[in-house]
Amino acid sequence: MAKKPHPTPMLDELESGPWPSFVTGLKRLAEDKDYVVDLLGTLETSYRTKKGYWKGGTVGVFGYGGGVIPRFTELKNEDGTPVYPDAAELHTLRVQPPPGMHYTTDVLRKMADIWEKHGTGLIAFHGQSGDIMFQGAKTDKVQAAFDELNELGFDLGGAGPAVRTSMSCVGAARCEQSCFDEARAHRQVINTFTDDIHRPALPYKFKFKFSGCANDCMNSIQRADMAVIGTWRDNMRSDEGLARKWFDAHGMNELVNNVIARCPTKTIMLKEIKDVARGDKISSVKISDTHALEIDNANCVRCMHCINVMTGALAKGTDTGATILIGGKRTLKIGDLMGTVVVPFLPLKTEEDYGALVELAQKVIDFFAENALEHERTGEMIERIGLVNFLEGIGLEIDPNMVSAPRTNPYVRMDGWDDEVAKINARKKVIAIKAA
């Protein structure tokens, strides 16, 4: 039986609304844990004083340099003893999720039992890092908790200046929009860089994220130093039966206002059937006996909006793979950055394709380790040294399809576009001849 609870009038207010409250969950845990009783006392004090009372330190498990986020209380009495002694330590274990974040109910129950035994019982699926966050353990419980989680098949994630925990969407396991095997790419990359996760040795953190299509459910373009996003390079497909059914249900206003008008590059046009263009890059689908949608695939940027609205009626192509972008990050030194395309298309079909992905990742990390300043992300390093220098450093040939935003190019002058393309094609031809 836990000790008597501390008064928490401010936290109690968070239970008064119509929405679920984390305070209720903590109070439930506090019924059996002195640890959580004092945690609530600490939290109430922070709400009252508007101050945080946790400081870092050094806590880890044998053989690992990261993965545990140490927190020690600074809320002390005059004699230096903790005001809330049972919650004087609140360490968090970051644990890597499986690719696609798939769990069995048996595994989840075992995780909960382990944390109930060694920690507060408080688990977050998942933190912004992508990790399973086992929140709240004392120093003497960290190793034992890790050992049992490790026996269950799980490993610590990243922390500090290291390769961080990767994330991948549910992808090919359940999503019809998936363009590559996200789980395979995720696992192959992370297995390669396990040492770089557990033994921080980089200028700052480095994140991989894998999204199966441009819906980018992993937020990889804005949060990952190396983002792998599914795409296709042939024409969109269509299904006339489903297109007619959709049009009958939604009508012309919805089609025009929410599909055609929202196409960012005006790729989709509504035409009378007799006026639909013909060509290798043109897709079309009848929506009625008189009208059809015409899709100019040469101008399509694969944003996914029309497919999301008219799923099945419109669909991705069959020549699928991934685009690789470098340099995404949230605000730090120079503000938010979106990833820049460095590999416009990688098929990700064969073992060689996945090997090429891992090889590129190794080159990027090696270059980052050697050239970035302390506390500088990959995107910030590229901003400082220039994209051309970065590409040369990792051994990638310049390609006009490398863009920082759709329909823009960060370094090729548009007034000499044809000449630049000719030069690139000439270099590719020479490389092909030498390879043969």
Q: Compute mean pLDDT per 10 residues along the chain, 436 residues long, and list them.
A: 87 92 92 92 96 91 89 94 94 93 94 94 85 94 96 91 92 93 94 91 94 93 94 96 97 96 94 93 95 95 95 96 93 79 94 95 97 94 92 88 75 70 85 82
| Residue 386: partners with Cβ closer than 8 Å, 6 or more residues away | none
Contact 364, 250 (CB under 8 A): no
Distance CA 322, CA 179 (A): 7
Do residues 135 and 120 lie in contact, with contact meaning Cβ atoms separated by under 8 Å?
yes
Cβ distance 165 to 97 under 8 Å?
yes
What is the tens place of the pLDDT at every residue in 183-226?
999 999 999 999 999 988 999 999 999 999 999 999 999 899 99
For residue 342, report the phi and psi dihedrals to the nearest 5 degrees.
-120, -25
The H or E element containing residue 354 is: helix 351-371
Can you read off the two tokens belonging to residue 16?
Answer: 């008064």
Q: Determine the pLDDT at residue 418.
A: 80
d(CA 302, CA 358): 25
**Alpha-carbon gap, residue 324 to 340, rounded angstroms:** 8
The predicted structure's pLDDT at residue 86: 93
Our CA angle for 346, 348, 352, nearest 5°, is: 100
> Pairing mode, if any, of strands 208-211 and 167-168?
parallel
Residue 330's pLDDT is 81
What pLDDT, on a 0 to 100 scale, did the predictor assign at position 240?
96
Cis omega before residue 126 (within 30°)?
yes
Q: How far is CA 220 from the centre of its chain?
A: 4
| Radius of gyration in angstroms for the set of CA atoms belonging to the chain, rounded to a whole number | 26
Q: Please name each of the domains of the chain with its CATH number.
A: 9-151 (3.30.70.2500), 167-233+319-396 (3.30.413.10), 237-315 (3.30.70)
The confidence score (pLDDT) of residue 421 equals 79
pLDDT score at 266: 93
Say what the alpha-carbon torsion angle 234, 236, 240, 244 is, to the nearest 10 degrees: -170
